[in-house]
Amino acid sequence: MLELLKSKILVSDGAIGTELLKLSSEKNPEILNLKKPSLVEKLHIDYINAGADIITTNSFGANPVRIKDINIYELAKASAQIARKAKIDNKFIFGSVGPTGLKPTDKEFKNIDAYFSEQICGLNDGGVDAILIETMIFVEEMKAAYRVARTETKLPIAVSMSFHLTKNGFQTYGGADLKTSVKEMLNLGAEIIGANCGNGFAEMTTLAEKLKSIISETFIIIKPSAGTPKRINDKLIYPDTPNSISKFVEKLISLGVNIIGGCCGTTPEHIKVIRKLVDKTIQSEKAWAQ
């Protein structure tokens, strides 16, 4: 995969959690790995059919803080096995590792390595191709997840934090500024770094420009949310529709982002748009080379 990234933009899938929540009353969509694995598998297949090169396991919140009284190792392993069942040749599976919800100042934070170990070992044993540490807002938690992933596996690791634009520039909701966060991610030695979620494609494109001004060699992953949703008629409506994202995706491509996908609120229809634009760029480059 890493060799492929040197010459090709890879398209990741879109949201897992928000899509599964549309289809089920489960509070924690990760539980569906055990209760309705066919539902999870179908979503992976939908993303593959939309053109995704990378599918992400349904394991974002699979940790003992978010989900009680469940064997987290088995839950995470099941997420990887479901993804492998859906996978076809030339696709990659990223094992999703999200934040626990703990703050570094919390007393329970001392157990963070053990919590991540259950999840990451399950993903590794289930057969993922890489570990994706995503939506992190605390540098300390991001570093802990990376430390465990590097210790417990030999897999490539992608690290992605979540930022929003403030009067002081881009910061995580935990208060870490962009430059500090990127420096910490680079110092870890992760093969892929970047950002996900945030407040939509427009803001994430601006963030990607900032990232490119800091990062010169490491592969970059960008997975924007579909914006900040509004509740209308008891449904969450996201403003960034598939029809509205093209110019932002084109900008991400021109910036040289290596992996482009979607986060909360994005759907297979969003991924179809990204796939089409990435393929258009590839065809243009081939025509130019001839």
Residue 265: left (phi > 0), alpha (psi -120 to 50), or beta?
left
By the 10 Å C-beta count (0-12 exposed, 13-18 middle, 19+ buried), 55 is classed as buried
| Cβ-Cβ contacts under 8 Å for 116 (sequence gap 6 or more) | 63, 97, 100, 144, 145, 148, 149
Q: Which residue positions form the known binding site?
A: 197, 263-264
Q: Is 236 exposed, middle or buried (0-12, 13-18, 19+ CB in 10 A)?
A: middle
Report d(CA 86, CA 16) in Å as an integer: 14
Residue type, 117: S
> Looking at residues 53-69, what average pLDDT do you find?
97
Q: Write down the mean pLDDT value for the chain.
A: 95
State how far the Cα of 217 lies from the Cα of 116, in Å rounded to an integer: 28
User: Rounded distance, CA 253 to CA 247, Å?
Assistant: 10
Does residue 182 surpass a pLDDT of 70? Answer: yes
Considering the entire predicted model, what is its pTM?
A: 0.96
Tokens of 198: 């945030």
pLDDT tier at 233, thresholds 50, 70, 90: confident
Cα 140 to Cα 133: distance, rounded to the nearest angstrom: 13
CATH architecture for residues 2-289:
Alpha-Beta Barrel (3.20)
The string of pLDDT tens digits covering residues 103-150 is 999 999 999 999 999 999 999 999 999 999 999 999 999 999 999 999
Between 232 and 13, the more confident residue is 13
Half-sphere exposure (CA, 13 Å, Cβ side) for 100?
28
Residue 262: closest CA among 56, 84, 85, 76: 56
Which structure tokens are listed for 189?
């030695």
**pLDDT tens digits, one per residue of 73-96:** 999 999 999 999 998 889 999 999
Residue 71 scores a pLDDT above 90: yes
Residues comprising the binding site for Zn(2+)? Answer: 197, 263-264
